[in-house]
Structure 1
Amino acid sequence: MRAGSSSGGDLHSRVVEDIGQRIINGELAVGDTIFAEQVCERLNISRPVVREGLRTLSSLGLIQSRPQRGTRVLPRSNWDFLSPYIIRWRGQSPDRLTQMRELLELRLGIEHAAAYFAATRRTDAAAAAMKDAAARMKTALDAHDTFAYFRADQEVHRLMLEGSENAVLAQFAETVTALLRIRGETNPLVYSPQGLARASLHRHIALADALDARDPERAAELAREIIIETLKEVDAVTPPPASPPV
């Protein structure tokens, strides 16, 4: 009996999670072949479910199916690095801090712009929700509750990006939320001492206040400061990429 008592959706996720994480971790190398029959046997899952899982992984740029030749692992240049799947898998891999730096560098420009526009376009309800989320960050930090801290942090950034009323910027909220969720799950306050976390908290509160006050210049600068200071935290743990030879 292949499928057991689990639902098809659960089994599909099991295939995607198992193979996806193994590729991200480097356990399956570029060019390696994945045979559906072997996956069926190893995970004790039916072939149709395995094929569906492989299609999902293909859509993420991790693998490519070849008729009569199995499925091969693709190089990193094909990966969808903004997919919440890949963000989560990299966040659970040795590549975690590299990913954090890369996405922070991307967020630097995106959130600077989002904060500027959100300050002029946000609704009163969104402004109130951002202030509430910032207040919950303080409550969580005082209680040393890392999970609650980053859950509230996610809300501040999501509301800001969506408050920009720019569909492209708002779509990036899912990526930011996935990254912050990983930080919360991996206990990042290990390398964010209480003093650094407290300074970041104050910037988030000030950002919510600037958005509430419809001050685009101040909001944009605070969004920039939040990212820059977080980059400094990451670089304190692992050195930045080496410069290319001249």
Structure 2
Amino acid sequence: MPDLTSASSARYRSRVGSGLYAHVVDVLGQEIIDGDIPAGTIVYADQLCERLGVSRSVVREGIRTLSSMGLVEARPQVGTRVLPPSQWDLINPYVVKWRSQGPAYVTQMKQLLELRLGIEHTAAGLAAQRLAPEDAAEILDRATAMRDAFAAHDTRRFFEMDAGFHRLLLEGTQNAVIAQLADTIGATLDARGHDTRPGMHEITAESVENHIQLAQALVDRDVLRAQETALRLVSRTLGEFEQLHAPRSE
């Protein structure tokens, strides 16, 4: 399965497992996301067993997992039908990972940045009020580690620390619904750390500084400054990404 390197990903890895079962989920999930198996296609267990070299029980478990993500629908006596994107669980970390690796990565990045634009502004204000002091200090440590990784041109380390930064921020709201989005955002940042396509790998000194400022606002329990900095941080990232992928005039 995808190696989600954020701290949260272990929970998702344990749900999917490893070995042949995980391989089935990963292969079929990526093929569905990429459109190699189009929506409406009926896939049959026997054919999957032969193609992937696994048992029927492994295929059944894989199909059950993909069904929970909204990618397929199993129908007795008919087979398993691939569902359209409108049915996918688009904030599931594995769906995020597969979309990040597929042709729709630009659309997904924009959509998730727009989601973060609203969520993290609110989350920063709540976290500034509710974060335990030791967690606020850890966020600042991670922001400092991001600055060090940026200086060392260590992109993977940067995004690994970035994922942890935002996890602590979202969980620090003490709002269970907001905290669940940490897995989704962690998967997005992990994808950026491993992908060199336009807009995925770029880091700016301004982004680093915004993380430092946001962390300090959380340490200082400055609600307004935390909200303003979080909004600026995500807005600038979204703006940079849109500029990179804006239609070019002839």
TM-score by length of 2: 0.89
Q: Does 1:164 align with 2:135?
A: no
After the TM superposition, which of the residue ranges 139-148 and 153-162 deviates more from structure 2? 153-162
Residue deviations 1:149-199 (CA, integer Å, cap 9, x gap): 011111111111111111111111111111111111113687665xx6100
Pick the aligned partner of 2:219 from 208, 212, 221. Answer: 212
Pick the aligned partner of 1:72 from 76, 81, 84. Answer: 81
Using a 3 Å threshold, how does the CA distance of structure 1 residues 191 and 54 change in structure 2: closer, same or farther?
closer
After the TM superposition, which of the residue ranges 172-181 and 84-93 deviates more from structure 2? 172-181
Using a 3 Å threshold, how does the CA distance of structure 1 residues 217 and 96 change in structure 2: closer, same or farther?
same
SS at match of 1:71: strand
Using a 3 Å threshold, how does the CA distance of structure 1 residues 184 and 43 change in structure 2: closer, same or farther?
same
Which structure carries more relative contact order (alpha carbon 8 Å, separation 6+)?
2
Q: Distance in 2 between matches of 1:129 and 1:180?
A: 18
SS at match of 1:119: helix
Aligned to 1:4: none
Residue deviations 1:203-222 (CA, integer Å, cap 9, x gap): 00000000000001110111
Pick the aligned partner of 2:51 from 38, 42, 50. Answer: 42
SS at match of 2:80: strand
SS at match of 2:204: helix
Aligned to 1:203: 210
Aligned counterparts, 1:106-185, within 5 A? 106-185=115-194
SS at match of 2:74: strand
Q: Check the 8 A contact 1:20/1:89 in 2, yes or no.
A: yes
Aligned to 1:3: none
Letter in 1 for 2:217: A
Aligned to 1:90: 99
Q: Check the 8 A contact 1:189/1:197 in 2, yes or no.
A: no
SS at match of 2:81: strand
Aligned to 2:113: 104
Q: Check the 8 A contact 2:192/2:200 in 1, yes or no.
A: no
Residue deviations 1:87-118 (CA, integer Å, cap 9, x gap): 00000001111101001101111111110010
Q: Distance in 1 between matches of 2:198 and 2:142?
A: 19
SS at match of 1:172: helix
Taking only aligned residues, the RMSD between alpha carbons, in angstroms, comes to: 1.6
4+ residue runs of structure 1 moved beyond 2 angstroms? 187-193
Letter in 2 for 1:97: V
Aligned to 2:3: none
Q: Percent identity?
A: 48
Unaligned runs of 5+ in 2: 1-16
Q: Check the 8 A contact 1:192/1:233 in 2, yes or no.
A: no
TM-score by length of 1: 0.90
Pick the aligned partner of 2:239 from 216, 221, 232. Answer: 232
Letter in 1 for 2:57: P
The total of aligned residue pairs comes to 231
Using a 3 Å threshold, how does the CA distance of structure 1 residues 87 and 192 change in structure 2: closer, same or farther?
closer
Aligned to 2:230: 223
Aligned to 1:59: 68
Unaligned runs of 5+ in 1: 1-7, 241-246
